[in-house]
Amino acid sequence: MTRRIRIGGAQMGAISRSDSKKEIVDRLIALLRQAGEKGCELVVFPELALSTFFPRWYAERDGMDGYFEDGMPNAATLPLFEEARRLGIGFSLGYAELVREDGRVRRFNTTVLVERNGEIVGKYRKIHLPGHAEYEPERSHQHLEKRYFEVGNTGFQVWDAFGGRVGMAICNDRRWVETYRVMGLQDVELILIGYNTPVADSLSGESETLRMFHNHLTMQAGAYQNSTWVVGVAKAGVEDGHRLMGGSVIVAPTGEIVAQAMTEGDELIVADCDLDRCRYYKSHIFNFAAHRRPEFYQRITSQTGVE
Ligand code: ING
C-alpha cells in the first residue's frame, strides 16, 4: 500500500488592515471546504494567514499586538478548527503568536500543524527573520520582522503525522539550505512552508521574474537535495498598496513542480503526494549515511558569517 496523501495548497489573496478576523477566517474555511470537495487530507495555509503583513509598517515593538493571537485555537479561529475536524482534514496555519513564557511576553512568527482529528501535533517558530529592526527611510516599505518577532526557539523539528515524516518552515527559512538539511537529517518526507514575499524590492532592483525564479529555485533545490516533498503557499496580492507574490507550488522529491497557482488571489492547488517517492532518493543518490562527509563541513555550524 503506497503512502499517498492528497494535499491542498491554500493560497490566500490580500488581507487588508481593514479586514475583520471573521472575514479572514471565513476565507480560510471556504478554502478548506474546497479542499474537502477535492478529497484533500491536508491543507497548507500561508505564513501570517490571519493578518495583513504588518511588518511592512513601523510601530512600537508592541504596537502591532492587535495582529497577534493570544492562543491557538482561540475564539476567532475555533470555527476553522471545528470545520477541519468535521471534514477530517488536517492543516498547517501561520499566525503571529503572542505568548507568556519564562515570565515574560514573547512574540513569534509561528505555524501550527493540526492532524485530521483536530489535535495540534506540531508547532514551529520562524528562525530566519529577514529585514531589520529599526526604521530605514531609504526603503519603499519597511521589513520589520526583527522588530516584532523573536527568533524562534523550537528548532527545525520533524513529526510523525499524516502517515509520514512532516516538517515545517516559514518564508525566509526557505532561502537557507540549512533549513532543509536539518530536517533531511531527520528523514523528513514533506515540508510545509507558508510565505508572504513582496514583489518589489526597492533595494535590489530585481525583476518580478527573477524574484519568482528565486522563490521556486530555493524550494525545488531543497526538495531534491533532501528527497522530500515541499509545499510552498503564498499570501499574495495587493495589501493596502503593497503587492505580495503568488506562485504557490507543490514540489516533488525529484525537484519537479507538480502543481502551481495561477493567480494572486484565494486559490487552491492540489496534488496526490506519494511519500514513498522519497525512499529511492534517500537510499541512493542522497543516502546521507553512505555519502556525506561531515568531517569537512565544520564551518557550517562553527561560523555565522564569512571568515
Ligand atoms: N519575506 C521575504 C522572503 O524571504 C525577502 C523577505 C524577500 C527576503 C525577498 C529576500 C528577498 O521571502 C519573508 N516574510 O520572509
Residue 200 has pLDDT above 90, yes or no: no
- What confidence tier does 202 reach under pLDDT thresholds 50, 70, 90? confident
- Rounded to two decimals, the pTM is 0.98
How does pLDDT run across 167-192, given as a tens digit for each residue? 999 999 999 999 999 999 999 999 99
| pLDDT over 90, % of the chain | 96
pLDDT at 90: 99
Give the pLDDT confidence score for residue 141 in this predicted structure. 83
28-63 per-position pLDDT tens digit: 999 999 999 999 999 999 999 999 999 999 999 999
pLDDT in tens, 113-144: 999 999 999 999 999 999 999 999 988 889 99
CA of 105 to the centre of ligand 1 (A): 26
Which numbered atom of ligand 1 lies nearest the CA of 145? 14
What residues are paired with 90 via a beta bridge? Answer: 42
The model's pLDDT over 264-282, given as tens digits with 9 standing for 90+, comes to 999 999 999 999 999 999 9
Beta bridge partners of 95: 110
Strand 164-170 to 158-161 pairing: antiparallel
Q: Which of 51, 108, 173, 175 to mutate to test the pocket of ligand 1 (most atoms within 8 A of CB)?
A: 175
Please name the residue that has the C-alpha cell 517558530.
125
Q: Give yes or no for residue 204 having a pLDDT over 90.
A: no
* pLDDT value of residue 250: 99
Interval between CA 27 and ligand 1 midpoint (Å): 24
- As annotated, the active-site residues are 47, 126, 171
Average model confidence (pLDDT) across the chain: 97
Q: Pocket of ligand 1, candidates 48, 142, 193, 197: which has the most ligand atoms within 8 Å of its Cβ, to mutate?
A: 197
Return the ligand 1 atom nearest residue 47 CA.
Answer: 14
Q: How far is the CA of 262 from the centre of ligand 1 (A)?
A: 20
Cα separation, 196 vs 234, in Å, equals 6
| Average pLDDT of span 229-257 | 98
- For the cut 90, the answer to whether the pLDDT of residue 205 exceeds it is no
